Amino acid sequence: MEDNLLVEENVQIKGIVERKLDEVPIEYVSPNPDQPRTNFKQEEIEELAASIEKDGVLQPILVRMVEKNSYQIIAGERRWQACKFIGMKTVPIRIKEADDDKALELALIENVQRADLNPIEEAYGYRRLMERRKMTQSEVAQAMSKGRSTVANALRLLELPEEAQQLLFEEKITAGHARAILSIPSKEGRLKLTEKLMEEKISVREAEALARLLSGKKNEGSASSRQPIPQSYKTVAKTLREVLKTNVRVKSSKGKNKIEIEFKDESDLERLFEELISSAS
């Protein structure tokens, strides 16, 4: 449940000027079409509405003026929806001057700081910033106070099949499932795992195992571990078995070769040692 407080009190973006605090009819306020968050759960709205009904709106909704008697929400849409839900006639607002791009940037920061966005919403927010403000991944990371790798990993989620993006948006799979899908190099393999996730609920570990199968990694590993033993190796092993009177195996795996010589106990080991020493001399 939202704590009925505004994080943007601690957020400052160059070029945004705070103007004043006011209370206006709720119909004067409208959502921002560029709001990064698009998935508002009804139960959360109702919980927040109950809090507001009991204690009032503790902090105003951050808006910008579009025209006279018309304000667009920068941050606080969930509060606004909760106020509408309980039939409030007016809402407190804090007005800030900001153009479209600045409003998008501030809304994204506010949502990211609150951890309100699901991974897909966050990824699309970063991409809109990059496209509209011509920002690089590093510049977006700096604006969001995030590491560049965090932004890069978020943007990579947009490479998921559309069906997988929808599952992630609806919180039917986790970011771990998404990473498993993305580990598969082929589009066909990614679609197959996505279809599997649509059909049944499986754990991240199971998804990762399926991803390895669909990538062919397990088969490649099995093939490499079953490389045929050269005939010369087999001949040497047979000769050693006859000389040492014990089982001798030659193994080859991942480019490495080794000889295994069996012995029963300490006395048998001493016998083998003497046999090898005498053969060497």
Active site (catalytic) residues: 77
CA–CA separation, 198 and 111 (whole Å): 28
What is the spatial distance between Cα 141 and Cα 42, in angstroms, rounded to a whole number? 31
* 6, 62 contact by CB (below 8 A): yes
Element (H, E) at 243: helix 231-244
CB 164 within 8 A of CB 156: no
Task: Tell me whether strands 29-30 and 70-75 are parallel, antiparallel or unpaired.
Answer: parallel
Q: Please return the burial class of 175, using the count of CB atoms within 10 Å of its CB with bins 0-12, 13-18 and 19+.
A: middle
How many whole angstroms separate alpha carbon 17 and alpha carbon 201?
48
